[in-house]
Amino acid sequence: MCSGLWWSWQWWHLTATKRCSACGETKAVSEFHKCKGHSDGRHSYCKECVKAKHKKWREDNHARAVEASCEWQRQNKEKHNEHGIAYRKTKKGRDAAARALEKQKTPEGHAKRRAWKRTPRGKAARRRWEQSEKARAYQRAYRQAYAQTPEGKASAARRNAKRRQRVSAAPATLTAVEWQDLLDEQNHACAYCGRPFSVESKPTRDHIVPVSRGGGLTKENIVPACLVCNSVKGTSDLADG
């Protein structure tokens, strides 16, 4: 009995038709979404009309649609990521990615990309990328590879020559005793992060006013810093922060 009912339902599902209330066309019931509120269990509009209706609403209410989409993504991050990964693995997703890549290579695509980077969302996305471990690893690998090229070696030679010229022109009066006094004042720890110096983390002489801005190697312009903090500070002046 149950088997007979099941086959009857399958036969009805394959052969039954329904008239769409929107476009007026008669289609198979499989072309209508399921809906428990209707007696036949199917929506009054066909799938194509429902899709067109939703598309028109999104066009007429673009701001509300974007905000609703962003809110859903924030509340369902894992589900959104899983859906995106699954979509990109499909043929439709791969084709869409290929079309987007080709579009980005056009002059209009480059202009749109540059304009997006200047928006708050674009700047935030750039900051997230720069702070990610993947970006840092990529930048390290790129710098190491570039340093081995003739252009990279020439650039490093010019940079070192300019620094030697600036150092030779700046005052240099710091003595070994004064340097030891500075270490004692900082308790042999980095002046920025407070990390104690060790064999693995040796102290470096950081210029408060960078050499590029006329700072010299004097006791008043030098603080002990670890290599990481010294590198992060770079050529910036403490007065700028």
11-47 tens-digit pLDDT: 555 667 888 888 888 888 888 888 888 887 888 889 9
Cα–Cα distance measured from residue 52 to residue 46, given in angstroms and rounded to the nearest whole number: 10
DSSP reduced 3-state for 207 = strand
Q: Assess whether 174 and 231 both reside in one domain.
A: yes
The answer as to whether 149 is a domain residue is no
The answer as to whether 121 is a domain residue is yes
Task: Summarize pLDDT for 172-182 with one digit per residue, the tens.
Answer: 888 888 888 88
The answer as to whether 162 is a domain residue is no
The answer as to whether 151 is a domain residue is no
Q: In degrees rounded to 5, what are phi and psi of residue 191?
A: -70, -15
Task: Summarize pLDDT for 75-127 with one digit per residue, the tens.
Answer: 998 888 898 899 989 998 899 989 988 888 899 888 988 998 899 989 999 88
- Spatial CA neighbour of 18 closest among 35, 30, 5: 30
Task: Summarize pLDDT for 143-163 with one digit per residue, the tens.
Answer: 899 999 989 888 888 888 887
- Sequence letter at residue 77: K
Cα–Cα distance measured from residue 143 to residue 137, given in angstroms and rounded to the nearest whole number: 10
Question: Strand runs (DSSP E) across the chain, as ranges?
Answer: 17-19, 26-28, 32-34, 42-46, 204-207, 222-225
The answer as to whether 219 is a domain residue is yes
DSSP reduced 3-state for 37 = coil
Non-local (6+) Cβ contacts of 40 within 8 A are 18, 29
Q: Assess whether 30 and 91 both reside in one domain.
A: no
- Answer yes or no: is pLDDT of 4 > 70: no
Q: Residue 213 is encoded by which pair of tokens?
A: 């801005």
Q: Count of domains in the chain?
A: 3
Mean pLDDT of 217-228: 86
Q: Assess whether 229 and 176 both reside in one domain.
A: yes
**pTM of structure:** 0.39
- Sequence letter at residue 120: P
Q: In degrees rounded to 5, what are phi and psi of residue 18?
A: -150, 150
Task: Summarize pLDDT for 130-143 with one digit per residue, the tens.
Answer: 888 888 899 989 98
Query: Is there a contact between 159 and 193 (Cβ–Cβ < 8 Å)?
Result: no
Per the model's pLDDT, the better-predicted residue between 215 and 85 turns out to be 85
pLDDT at position 49 is 92
- Answer yes or no: is pLDDT of 228 > 80: yes
Q: Assess whether 228 and 174 both reside in one domain.
A: yes
Q: Assess whether 179 and 236 both reside in one domain.
A: yes
Task: Summarize pLDDT for 163-202 with one digit per residue, the tens.
Answer: 777 777 778 888 888 888 888 888 889 888 888 888 888 8
pLDDT at position 15 is 66
pLDDT at position 16 is 78
Task: Summarize pLDDT for 70-87 with one digit per residue, the tens.
Answer: 898 889 988 888 988 999
Q: Which domain holds residue 112?
A: 76-131
Phi-psi region of 188 (alpha: psi -120 to 50; beta: other; left: phi over 0): left
The answer as to whether 155 is a domain residue is no
- Answer yes or no: is pLDDT of 1 > 50: no
pLDDT at position 240 is 54
222-225 vs 204-207, strand pairing mode:
antiparallel
